[in-house]
């Protein structure tokens, strides 16, 4: 019975290709959206997890400022900045901490001959390499002495190197950062892309003192942020609490008063990102769901039309001995095949779109078989649900009435 | 099965509700038909001939009365049971042929067997055989659109016969055909009756068509008003030379 129904379904649909094609558009789009979307979503999550993992799960960031950005608190001057001493104190006094790196940043134009590139200059101490566990392709890091003397030296990220030197070795060359000529002493290892699409390799690294005095033309010991690496992931929670306590003490923040700094760990950042991502997925999934629903209604509509058009055929089948369930099966299978075709095409389109988008936007895609199964299952399910009513209507026809139908 | 009549109808009534009105299309029909009979049912238009045929063919259910088909009481069967009875016991031929469009003669004839679950090779063999029997052995792959009216009706007869039914019911089988093809179809029915002992019940309101049967039943206002044996049925095909 089912085999016969399947044959009839294929026959009937192939006689009305255009109509079938238009009918399944909704389902096709819905399934394609689900597949492409989950592939991109999964890909993004994979990338983020991978990169956060690569960064190290035991990193903490300390920024100046407060969680409540209400302008009421903090008169000018009391918005206490972080400084290098804070960084040193955290490293020195807390047993849970492995190393800290004070960080200053500046946008910078880097020039060599006629070539130039806009990038981000990062100034830090020698501990930066330990905190970020960032290796070298060539050359060397700057030394304590370089930091002490604000030496005009720098290390290039791979992206900057390619922009300025192509594949050539930049070590030993002199580049101008802003107006400061610096000797390139090293080439950083390739880090790749960050969680939010930023390019880690699009950077130049130099002693914090050099950046402060020569590029920012500032003095003092203030820093933009402090990166802290805990001994291991297990002590993260404790390390974060200790950092907060120590900073409160150093900044003389009384009980009940709010912090004038923010401490964040990777999980916080990750969960913020996850939240955004899941909101976005929910939104897209509801759109996909609506497309599927509309597609289902389209299937139902076309099946009702089909049943009406083929009333005489149904009458003939009933007259020669088809049972109600034979007719039900015929039209139900037709609806399922119809939406299934939409599902398969949608799957193919979704894979194509996901892959193409990923390629065009340079996003990672990860196709999960579960998504494919769900998409196909959903589309077939739509066929069953929305095909049932028309099919039952066909099956309940009276043979004489059906035969008289014109 | 039993040696009793193929058809035994007693006090059959059929009424339709149209709007507020109850219309009695059949008002107490008694009809007994034995194996091997060739019966013509005649009567004016609207007298209830088709209604009677639909009941005989288990396409519909009587409002009252008892109908024994090949010894089985089929008066009160549900839709699926009637479908089963149609498939196993009855071959039905319609005025309007009722073939599936865009479907080959062979597949049209296979249809009743398909709903019996006959394997496809067996189905094809028997369908081809049935088509050969009605003289269309060379038109297996023609669709209805590629066949003349007479040929289409012969495909329909082949479809009715492929299941080897107990009775062949034909409701105005020649109503849509011209004189020549009418004779062709009648000749075929007469041959099937004579050579294979097929029981045939045929509705017609044309006297010279009815004259080909061995028994003529006349219906008027939902009742059987005459039931005559025809001692010397007209041989179909004879008219062909004349007109
Ligand atoms: N489904 C129906 N609903 C209402 N009235 C019907 C129906 N079928 C037949 N009739 C009525 O029953 C009477 C007999 O019809 P029918 O058996 O088709 O006559 P005929 O002898 O011409 O074949 C007619 O008056 C017709 O209008
Ligand atoms: Mg009639």
Does residue B21's CB lie within 6 angstroms of at least one atom of ligand 1?
A: no
**How far, in Å, is the centroid of ligand 2 from the Cα of B50?**
4
Asked if A220 and A288 sit in the same domain, the reply is no
Q: Whose CA is nearest to atom 9 of ligand 1?
A: B51
Query: What is the nearest CA distance from B113 to chain A, expressed in angstroms?
Result: 9
Pocket test for ligand 1, best of B15, B47, B49, B51 (most atoms within 8 A of CB): B51
The shortest C-alpha distance from A331 to chain B (Å) reads 15
Q: Of A192, A207, A227, which residue is a domain's last?
A: A227
Through-space distance between the first and last CA atoms of chain A, rounded to whole angstroms: 27
Q: Which two tokens stand for residue A285?
A: 């999934």
Among candidates B60, B86, B101 on the partner chain, residue whose Cβ is nearest the Cβ of A321: B86
The reply to whether A399 and A343 lie within a common domain is yes
This model of the complex carries an ipTM of 0.95
For residue B159, which of B212, B206, B215, B112 has the smallest C-alpha distance?
B112
Say if residue A397 is in the same domain as residue A275: yes
A250 found inside a domain: no
Beta-bridge partners for A153: A183
A277 and A398, same structural domain?
yes
**Interchain CB contact of B14 with A (< 8 Å):** no
Mean pLDDT estimate for chain B: 94
A117 and A203 share a domain? yes
Compute the distance from residue B135 Cα to the ligand 2 centre, in Å: 27
CB A315 within 8 A of CB A397: yes
Answer yes or no: do A200 and A302 share one domain.
no
Position A254 in a domain = no
Q: Give tens-digit pLDDT for B155-195.
A: 999 999 999 999 999 999 999 999 999 999 999 999 999 99
Give the span between the Cα atoms of B98 and B156, in whole angstroms.
Answer: 7
Q: How far is A399 from chain B (nearest CA, A)?
A: 6
Q: Count the neighbouring beta carbons within 10 Å of the beta carbon of residue B226.
A: 11
What is the spatial distance between Cα A1 and Cα A325, in angstroms, rounded to a whole number?
9
Q: What is the pLDDT of residues B205-237, one digit of tens each?
A: 899 999 999 999 999 999 999 999 999 999 988
Residues A30 and A107 in one domain: no
Number of domains in chain A: 2
pLDDT at A272 over 80: no
Inside any domain, residue A73: no
pLDDT at B123: 96
Asked if A320 and B86 come within 8 Å (Cβ–Cβ), the reply is yes
Check pLDDT > 90 for residue A196. no
Domain span at A362 = 2-51+271-404
Q: What is the DSSP letter of B234?
A: -
Domains and CATH numbers, chain B: 5-207 (3.40.50.300)
Instruction: Identify the residue whose C-alpha is closest to ligand 1 atom 24.
Output: B46
Which of the given ranges, A126-130, A221-225, A395-399, has the highest pLDDT on average? A395-399
Report the candidate in A230, A188, A283, A217 with the shortest Cα–Cα distance to residue A62.
Answer: A230
Which two tokens mark B227? 């039931």
By Cβ distance, the residue of B88, B100, B163 closest to A316 is B100
Residues A182 and A117 in one domain: yes
Q: Which three-class secondary structure state does DSSP give residue B211?
A: coil
Residues A221 and A296 in one domain: no
Q: Span A139-153, mean pLDDT?
A: 94
Are residues A214 and A126 both part of a single domain? Answer: yes
Closest CA relative to residue A394, chosen from A340, A295, A341, A323: A323
* Within-domain flag for A234: no
State how far the Cα of B54 lies from the Cα of A395, in Å rounded to an integer. 19
B44 lines ligand 1 (CB under 6 A): no
User: Is A321's CB within 8 Å of B84's CB?
Assistant: yes
**pLDDT > 60? residue A68:** no
**Count of A-B CB contacts under 8 Å:** 54
Q: Say yes or no: CB of residue B218 within 6 Å of ligand 1.
A: no
Task: Give a yes or no: residue A68 inside a domain.
Answer: no
Angle at A225 between CA A223 and CA A227, to 5 degrees: 125
pLDDT tens-digit readout, A208-263? 999 999 999 988 889 999 999 988 877 888 899 999 999 998 988 888 888 888 88
Q: How confident is the model at residue A194 (pLDDT cuts 50, 70, 90)?
A: low
Domain boundary among A227, A252, A287: A227
- A259 part of a folded domain: no
The 10s digit of each residue's pLDDT in B60-104 is 999 999 999 999 999 999 999 999 999 999 999 999 999 999 999
Q: Flag whether A127 is in a domain.
A: yes
Nearest to A321 among B87, B98, B100 (CB): B87
H-helix segments, chain B: 49-56, 79-89, 105-114, 120-133, 149-161, 179-196, 207-210, 238-242
- Atom from ligand 1 closest to the CA of residue B49: 21
Distance CA(B202)–CA(B169), nearest Å, equals: 6
Contact A300, A389 (CB under 8 A): yes
Mean per-residue pLDDT, A266-279: 75
Chain A contact for B124 (CB, 8 A cutoff): no
**Where is the domain boundary, A199, A227, A255?**
A227
Other Cβ atoms within 10 Å of A166 Cβ, number = 9
Tokens at A250, concatenated: 């150093």
């Amino acid at each position: 019975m089912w085999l016969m129904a399947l044959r009839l379904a294929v026959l009937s649909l192939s006689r009305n290709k255009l109509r079938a094609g238009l009918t399944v558009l909704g389902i096709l789009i819905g399934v394609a959206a689900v597949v492409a979307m989950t592939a991109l979503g999964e890909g993004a999550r994979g990338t983020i997890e991978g990169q956060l993992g690569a960064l190290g799960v035991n990193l903490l960031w300390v920024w100046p400022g407060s969680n409540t950005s209400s302008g009421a608190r903090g008169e000018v001057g009391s918005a206490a900045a972080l400084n290098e001493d804070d960084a040193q104190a955290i490293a020195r006094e807390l047993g849970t901490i492995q190393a800290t790196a004070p960080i200053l940043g500046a946008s910078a134009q880097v020039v060599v001959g006629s070539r130039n590139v806009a990038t981000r200059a990062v100034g830090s101490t020698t501990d930066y390499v330990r905190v970020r566990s960032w290796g070298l392709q060539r050359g060397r890091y700057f030394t304590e002495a370089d930091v002490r003397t604000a030496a005009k030296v720098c290390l290039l990220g791979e992206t900057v190197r390619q922009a300025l030197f192509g594949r050539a070795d930049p070590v030993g060359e002199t580049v101008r950062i802003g107006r400061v000529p610096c000797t390139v002493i090293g080439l950083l290892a390739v880090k790749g892309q960050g969680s939010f699409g930023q390019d880690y390799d699009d950077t130049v690294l130099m002693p914090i003192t050099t950046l402060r005095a020569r590029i920012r033309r500032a003095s003092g010991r203030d820093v933009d942020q402090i990166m802290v690496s805990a001994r291991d992931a297990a002590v993260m929670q404790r390390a974060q609490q200790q950092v907060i306590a120590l900073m409160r003490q150093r900044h003389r923040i009384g009980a009940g008063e709010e912090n004038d700094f923010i401490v964040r760990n990777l999980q916080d950042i990750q969960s913020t990102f996850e939240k955004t991502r899941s909101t976005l997925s929910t939104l897209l999934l509801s759109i996909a769901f609506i497309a599927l629903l509309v597609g289902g209604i389209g299937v139902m509509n076309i099946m009702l039309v089909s049943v009406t058009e083929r009333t005489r055929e149904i009458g003939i089948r009933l007259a020669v001995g088809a049972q109600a369930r034979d007719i039900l099966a015929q039209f139900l299978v037709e609806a399922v095949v119809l939406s299934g075709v939409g599902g398969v095409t949608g799957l193919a389109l979704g894979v194509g779109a996901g892959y193409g988008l990923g390629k065009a936007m340079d996003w990672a895609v990860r196709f999960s078989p579960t998504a494919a199964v769900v998409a196909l299952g959903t589309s077939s399910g739509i066929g069953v649900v929305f095909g049932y009513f028309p099919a039952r209507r066909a099956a309940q026809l009276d043979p004489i009435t059906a035969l008289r139908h014109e | 099965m039993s040696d009793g009549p193929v058809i035994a109808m007693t006090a059959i009534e059929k009424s339709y509700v149209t709007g507020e009105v109850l219309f009695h299309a059949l008002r107490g029909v008694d009809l007994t038909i034995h194996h091997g009979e060739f019966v013509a049912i005649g009567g004016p238009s609207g007298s209830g001939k088709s209604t009677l045929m639909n009941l005989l063919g288990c396409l519909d259910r009587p409002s009252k009365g008892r109908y024994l088909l090949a010894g089985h009481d089929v008066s009160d069967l549900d839709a699926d049971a009637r479908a089963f009875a149609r498939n196993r016991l009855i071959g039905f031929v319609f005025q309007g042929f009722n073939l599936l469009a865009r479907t080959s003669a062979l597949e049209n004839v296979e249809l009743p067997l398909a709903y019996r679950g006959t394997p496809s090779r067996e189905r094809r063999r028997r369908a081809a055989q049935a088509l050969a029997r009605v003289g269309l052995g060379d038109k297996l792959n023609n669709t209805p659109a590629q066949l003349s009216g007479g040929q289409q009706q012969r495909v329909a007869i082949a479809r009715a016969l492929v299941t080897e039914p107990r009775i062949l019911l034909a409701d105005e089988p020649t109503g849509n055909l011209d004189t020549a093809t009418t004779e062709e179809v009648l000749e075929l029915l007469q041959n099937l009756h004579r050579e294979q002992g097929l029981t045939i019940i045929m509705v017609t309101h044309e006297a010279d068509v009815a004259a080909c049967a061995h028994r003529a039943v006349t219906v008027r206002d939902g009742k059987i008003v005459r039931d005559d044996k025809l001692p010397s049925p007209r041989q179909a095909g004879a008219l062909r030379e004349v007109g």
